[in-house]
Amino acid sequence: MDRYSQAGVDLDLAASVKAGLRGIARKSARPEVLGAIGGFGGLFRPVLSAFREPVLVASIDGVGTKLKVAALAHRHQGVGEDLVHHCVNDIATTGAEPLFFLDYVGTSRLDPSCFHSILRGMARACRRTGCALLGGETAQMPGMYRDDEYDLVGAIVGIVDRQALLPSVGMRVGDLLIGLRSCGLHTNGYSLARKILFEEQNLSLDARIPGCPLPLGEELLRVHRSYLPELRRLRRLELPVKGIAHITGGGLLENLPRILPKRLDAQIDVGSWRVPPLFRFLTKVGKLSPEESYRVFNMGIGMVLIASADCGERIAQATDGRIIGKLVSGEGRVLFR
């Protein structure tokens, strides 16, 4: 055994694991991709003829402590999908279509089965959203993580025509808020959820939460929903939106103000949708105030669209969403009614 292996970094294992990446990534390839995974940089030749004034949109994010639940359940493919969907949703708020995606996996000890499971999830999500998995980085760092831990980060680049950039300047009093349902916690609030469920309530992954159809572990590992199909449908139907907020860390309270002009408030009717049982349970047994719940968790609404009153109902029908409020005069805040 060489000295590097004795220090905890197995280069032969890394080379063997990475050898299988090309086949996984190839399933998400687009015609614009040049070369193959494994170079010092990924190559992508964008076709810009369809854009009058193309704007590139970039974002980077992680999955957070949902990884702890995935490790506990030995289920890793879903977090690869989570990561891609989260990043796709983030740039979709600008009106952008995804072009390519890069990942970073940092770990103490490389587990081939776990690693390939994560990458297969990423590739599947990239293929489903039309986003090329262009490359990434896998780092073995003994001592930085426990042996069964890893970190997962993704970066995405998309494109939008400048004239179609969101949010638009045309928001006004009376515009409607259309909420699109989430699939569980998505990728936010897991530190608090784990504390309440596993430390304070001493629940197992097999526990049943009142009203939830699945065991707790499966409820917590529901895949972060991608809203790109719904947004593409609206473009095909020529149903315009004025703004899009992805409800991630900070919940409705902090994410909606990111797209509001300072002259308007978002007035939300909290009785306009049924908060899913898992969120109600966390709020009750965790003794959370409503303000904290709506700040930490998405509470069943994963994305909010802003549209004029004359097409809000049609947008809600086309996206299987529901009208959860409207814009009123204000100062760029969220008001709960």
List beta partners, residue 140: 107
CATH 3.30.1330.10 positions along the chain are: 3-164
Which of these, 9, 27, 21, 149, lies nearest to 76 by C-alpha position?
Answer: 149
Tokens, residue 105: 């996996």
Dihedral pair phi/psi, residue 173, rounded to 5°: -55, 135
Instruction: Kindly compute the dihedral angle of the four CA atoms of residues 100, 104, 110, 112, in this order, to the nearest 10 degrees.
Output: -20
Distance CA 277, CA 181 (A): 13
Tokens of 294: 């709506």
Each residue's pLDDT tens digit in the chain (337 positions)?
Answer: 576 675 666 666 666 666 666 667 777 778 899 877 777 888 999 999 999 999 999 999 999 999 999 999 999 999 999 999 999 999 999 999 999 999 999 998 888 889 889 999 999 999 999 999 998 888 888 888 887 789 999 999 999 999 999 999 899 999 999 999 999 999 999 999 999 999 999 999 999 999 999 999 999 999 999 999 999 999 999 999 999 999 999 999 999 999 999 999 999 999 999 999 999 999 999 999 999 999 999 999 999 999 999 999 999 999 999 999 999 999 999 999 8
- The predicted-structure confidence for 168-199, as pLDDT tens digits, reads as follows 989 999 999 999 999 999 999 999 999 999 99
Residue ranges of the chain that CATH labels 3.90.650.10: 176-336
Fold classification of 3-164 (topology level): 60s Ribosomal Protein L30; Chain: A; (3.30.1330)
Burial of 159 (0-12, 13-18, 19+ CB in 10 A): buried
- Give the pLDDT score at 53: 97
Give the CATH number of domain 176-336: 3.90.650.10
The pTM (predicted TM-score) of the whole model is 0.93
CA-based end-to-end distance of the chain = 66
In this predicted model, what pLDDT tens digit does every residue of 260-295 receive, in sequence order? Answer: 999 999 999 999 999 999 999 999 999 999 999 999
**Structure token pair of residue 40:** 């010092």
- Amino acid at site 182: S
Containing 331, the helix (H) or strand (E) segment is: none
| Tokens 């638009």 sit on residue | 168
